Homo-oligomer: A and B are copies of this chain.
């Protein structure tokens, strides 16, 4: 049954659950298919019980999500996944915990996005980041971008707080006009600060979608493209 030219992806999901479903949908849309069997096999742990990354990183003292994510990775490997992906930007703070727990490759979304920006848009000097303040605090993107000579621009503190509230609203199922307007306001702030483009670096925001007032590069879309390419054996997982 398994096509030996194809690889099975294991997805650490649930951070949040809607964002994982959004990623699965992107994978399906990006796969050329005439029938079910042309699609790739995805085994997914849509686990919303992973300890809050926002709580652990921003508020401090929360339960460490690392061991839970490592356990999810091990289970996906035992199941038969050939490589893993983590459907959450912030959760990449715990990337090493997952990588060290398994013997299969784990896509690093942060590296993937940074390299994508460098390769595809070498003219971009200043890139805005639309992400949870937890991502800002961890320095995940900042470190990679600076290494590649790209300057990362973040929303001003009041806008960063506004963006956190947008993400929290999406997690609670609210995606109304007010939420979308707040999201636009934050993008305008990044634009005023000199961002020529922005990375949508939060799978919640990817799932929200919509037209933005800045050129946007969606981390979830880049991840989905990578998953399809690796699963279809067009490239090896990095």
Contacts and interface: CB of A to CB of B under 8 A. Distances in A.
Interface of A: 1-3, 14-18, 20-21, 24-25, 28-29, 33-52, 63, 68, 75, 78-80, 168, 171-173
Contact of A75 (B46, B79, B172): B79
A52 B36 contact: yes
Contacts of A28: 17-18, 21
Contacts of A17: 24, 28, 36, 39, 42
A231 B46 CA distance: 14
B34 A172 contact: yes
A172 to B, nearest CB: 5
5 contacts: A14-B41, A17-B39, A21-B21, A35-B52, A35-B171
Contacts of A172: 33-35
A79 B50 CA distance: 16
A24 B27 CA distance: 15
A75 B68 CA distance: 20
Contacts of A48: 36-41
A143 B28 CA distance: 35
A49 B1 contact: yes
Contacts of A40: 48
Contacts of A1: 49-51, 63, 68
B41 A44 contact: no
Contact of A15 (B36, B43, B45, B171): B36
A25 B21 contact: yes
Contacts of A16: 36, 39
Contacts of A52: 35-37
A18 B33 CA distance: 12
A14 to B, nearest CB: 7
A41 B46 contact: yes
A28 B25 CA distance: 15
